[in-house]
Amino acid sequence: MPFRNPRKLTAAVIGTGFYGICAAVQLEKELGIKAQLFELTNDVGGTWQSNTYPGAECDIPSHLYSLSFEPNDAWTKHYSGQAEIYAYLRRVAQKYNIYGQTKFETEVVFAEWKEQLQKWHLQWRNTNNHQETGFGFYDILFAGLGPLRVPNIPSEFSKFQGPIVHTTQWNSLLDYSNKKIAVIGSGATAVQAIPELRKMASHVYSYQRTPAWISPRDQFSYPRILKFVFRWFPFLMKMYRFFLFLQHETFYINFGYYNSWFSRRIEKLFKQVVAWRLKRVGRPDLIPILTPDYPVGCKRVAKSEVYLEALAKPNVTVIPSGVTDIKERTLMDKNGNEIEVDILILATGFDVQGFTGNLDIYGRNRVLLDEKWRKHFPKTYKTVTVHGYPNFFMLLGPSAALGHNSVVIQIEIQVNYAIKCIKRMLKKNLAAIEPKESAQDQFSKKLQKNFEGTVWKGGCRSWYMNDAGEIYGLWSGPVTSFW
């Protein structure tokens, strides 16, 4: 039975990825609140609806990268691809009638806390026709925007006089076959895309200023007998999920204590594996180029059993530097090399520093959240609530992502915490709830202190870090401490 909601509170949820779907389901299940959802695109899925580049897959095991209240006994592979995860989210959305609660192709332009009304005022517009607008007032606001949403497109690449494709805005209509393709970036997206692009291109040029640590995946397909067992004995599937969770929690030992004997052995093993894989395919010359000089985990570890092998192929050239200039379709690097290509692919990640993207969120006294967080460390209380923004719950925002385990678990923990806050509001007959500034400061200070001695302070630059060198994108400990 849902918690009694005598005041008939209303809620708005922005986004329909894992974050938005989870929030909407739990709001109705636990509180009897049928939320209004807003989605920029024409379907649910968030990241897994928009990222359709070749090779797009999850690097967390399928049974762990799913909602605990909606286990899936039919996962086909240990690590699922984009299409399968997208299909899973659509099934969950259909089961809980998320489609009926969602305004699709609708962009929330701004959200503003109205102190006199003690409500959030939202204004939105149709993404296809900006003249078609609307507004509404809601007691509670969930922002399930997702940190990997707004593509980072460096302005210097606009000089390229040919097709430019960012991996998160994949152009499936473009013909990539027998083309010379330049890929900018060496993160997880490039690691997944390059082996696939190599199969269709005449030549791929991989520009990477910093190589990534690559871990082989234990990829395999689930046999029918195991899926049968999971279907009819769901407690065994739960036990398997728990095993995967514990397995990934142990990875934190390497990240949290990277100067330990254990972590030094792990790094030595990584180097040996990289060298062995490249020697095996006859390219020992690539070993110094593709072996990072920073600790394992300082940047996100990418998983692939084919990436290093793809870079060793005759139709792939690794260029260990960034692009310094562009003339028409010719790219120049710092070593003076000039290469003309047909297509430029940007695997340059996302703009995560503001966390709110193109949405303006105004709190008390019309303080803009994006401006506040870009100028200073993005402080929150327990990564979910923000002082000055009553009845506002941020999902997977600052300090909530992970480098070693499933963020879906983090999302569920955050939603459960938000539900507890709302239950307290109802029980105490409160109009609004927000953290004290002193509690928020104390939480943020402790969070930053906990990063000292971890691998994320190991000397590299990553998207986890802001311009001031503070780790703002990650939780500092294991998931159990987050819970």
Instruction: Considering only the C-alpha atoms of the chain, give the largest distance between any 2 of them, rounded to a whole number of Å.
Output: 71
Q: Which of 276-285, 329-338, 411-420 bottoms out in mean pLDDT, i.e. has the lowest? A: 329-338
End-to-end CA distance of the chain: 24
pLDDT digits (tens, 9 = 90+) for 155-202: 889 999 999 999 989 999 999 999 999 999 999 999 999 999 999 999
Q: How confident is the model at residue 72 (pLDDT cuts 50, 70, 90)?
A: very high
Distance CA 448, CA 108 (A): 32
The C-alpha torsion from 32 through 231 and 249 to 221, rounded to 10°, is -130
pLDDT at 140: 98
Q: How confident is the model at residue 466 (pLDDT cuts 50, 70, 90)?
A: confident
Q: How confident is the model at residue 147 (pLDDT cuts 50, 70, 90)?
A: low
- Backbone φ and ψ of 84, nearest 5°: -70, -40
Residue with tokens 């990584």: 270
pLDDT at 2: 56
Every domain range in the chain assigned CATH 3.50.50.60? 11-150+351-482, 155-213+259-294+299-346
pLDDT digits (tens, 9 = 90+) for 2-45: 566 667 899 999 999 999 999 999 999 999 999 999 999 999 99
Sign, CA dihedral 276-277-280-281, equals negative
Q: Which of 214-228, 344-358, 430-444 bottoms out in mean pLDDT, i.e. has the lowest? A: 344-358
Contacts of 84 (CB under 8 A, 6+ apart): 62, 75, 76, 77
Contact 396, 472 (CB under 8 A): no
Contact 65, 80 (CB under 8 A): yes
Contact 187, 164 (CB under 8 A): no
Residues shown for the chain: 483
Strands, E, within 17-163: which ranges?
A: 36-38, 102-103, 106-114, 119-126, 133-138, 140-143
Contact 167, 378 (CB under 8 A): no
DSSP state of 158: G
The H or E element spanning position 31 is helix 18-31
Candidate CATH numbers 3.50.50.60, 1.10.260.40, 3.40.50.300, 3.30.70.270; the one for domain 155-213+259-294+299-346: 3.50.50.60
pLDDT surpasses 90 at 108: yes
CATH of domain 11-150+351-482: 3.50.50.60
Q: How confident is the model at residue 354 (pLDDT cuts 50, 70, 90)?
A: low
Residue with tokens 């997208």: 86
Closest of 292, 212, 296, 293 to residue 257, by C-alpha: 296
- Exposed e or buried b per residue across 38-75, where buried means at least 16 C-beta atoms within 10 angstroms of its C-beta: bbbeebbbbbbbbbbbbbbbbbbbbbbbbbeeeebbeb
Closest of 387, 375, 366, 372 to residue 437, by C-alpha: 387
Angstrom distances, CA of residue 217 to CA of 75, 89, 276, 358, 380? 17, 24, 16, 36, 35
Contacts of 321 (CB under 8 A, 6+ apart): 207, 209, 333, 334, 335
Contacts of 221 (CB under 8 A, 6+ apart): 76, 77, 78
- pTM for the predicted model, two decimal places: 0.94
The per-residue pLDDT of the chain, averaged, comes to 93
Residue with tokens 């489609």: 99
Angstrom distances, CA of residue 38 to CA of 20, 102, 132, 182? 9, 6, 15, 36
Contact 298, 455 (CB under 8 A): yes
pLDDT digits (tens, 9 = 90+) for 278-324: 999 999 999 999 999 999 999 999 999 999 999 999 999 999 998 99
DSSP-assigned states of every residue in 74-94: T--BSS-BHHHHHHHHHHHHH
Q: Identify the three-state secondary structure at position 334.
A: coil
pLDDT surpasses 90 at 391: yes
Q: Identify the three-state secondary structure at position 263.
A: helix
The H or E element spanning position 206 is strand 203-207
